[in-house]
Amino acid sequence: MDFAAPPENVTFRGLLFDMDGTIIDSTAAVEKHWHSIGKEIGVDPEVILQTSHGRRSIDMLKVLAPDKANWEYVRHMEGLLPKLHGDDAVEIPGARALLDSLIAAHAPWAIVTSGTVPLVSGWLDVLKLPHPDHLVTAESVANGKPDPSCYELGLSKLGLDAKAEVLVFEDSPAGIRAGKAAGCKVLGLVTSHTVEQVMAAEPDWVVRDLISVKMVEYNPGDGRVTLQISDALVTSSA
């Protein structure tokens, strides 16, 4: 396996981005955060961290600490994360340039995340990244990833129903499966999981990070955005 596929131009009607591991990397902050929360709720933080990435905090708490599984607690808890650990997050390489180009062209995009509104807005403010016009958060749906509800709602917010013409950007297996279950094409990033874990979720492309993705053009007439994907993963079976 090698990240050496030649550049490929692909066209979509809309783009849906996961947040953590796709636009930002807050792994170090999340680890500190869950260690604090683990002590507070009496659960081994390592147990939480083994399965937390890409999943909503409220879904984790329903299993580990049901008495804390309410939106008031989760929003308060997550809202503190960027404030307490703001220096421990960085943007995913290529994310800012890609989002800036989409915004400049007025191309349709949204963030679809397992985080709450206080968490998402907090991180975007700390890292001075652009806020999307359309946002789907943990509070938006009854079931979190890998359930496709979040990406189906993202499609609705963009006013799109041609699912195969929408690209999802994801790093976690749960998120990749959610995007695929929603009928979208999915680009998997190897930023938080191994190549093998990402591939097992069966995304359509696998790249290291968003440096491999550039906007080529946006045609407002037909609402289509063309991206160039370079240095995608090539497998022996390809």
pLDDT tens-digit series, residues 180-217: 999 999 999 999 999 999 999 999 999 999 999 999 99
Domain encompassing residue 213: 2-25+89-234
Known active-site residue 20: yes
Provide the number of structural domains found in the chain. Answer: 2
Question: Domain check: are 36 and 149 in the same one?
Answer: no
pLDDT of residue 236: 58
Question: Domain check: are 126 and 197 in the same one?
Answer: yes
Inter-axis angle of helices 57-64 and 45-52, nearest 10: 140
Question: Domain check: are 45 and 158 in the same one?
Answer: no
Retrieve residue 171's tokens.
């790093």
pLDDT tens-digit series, residues 85-114: 999 999 999 999 999 999 999 999 999 999
How far apart, in whole angstroms, are the C-alpha atoms of residue 115 and residue 20?
A: 8
Start-to-end C-alpha separation, the chain: 10
Question: Domain check: are 228 and 131 in the same one?
Answer: yes
Known active-site residue 18: yes
CATH of the domain at 53: 1.10.150.240
Count the helices and strands in the chain (H runs, E runs). 9, 13
Question: Domain check: are 199 and 135 in the same one?
Answer: yes
Question: Domain check: are 155 and 177 in the same one?
Answer: yes
pLDDT tens-digit series, residues 41-61: 888 888 888 877 778 999 989
Which listed residue (2, 20, 67, 171) is catalytic?
A: 20
Which listed residue (2, 18, 44, 100) is catalytic?
A: 18
pTM value is 0.92
Give the CB-side neighbour count of residue 136, counting CA atoms within 13 A: 26
Question: Domain check: are 77 and 126 in the same one?
Answer: no
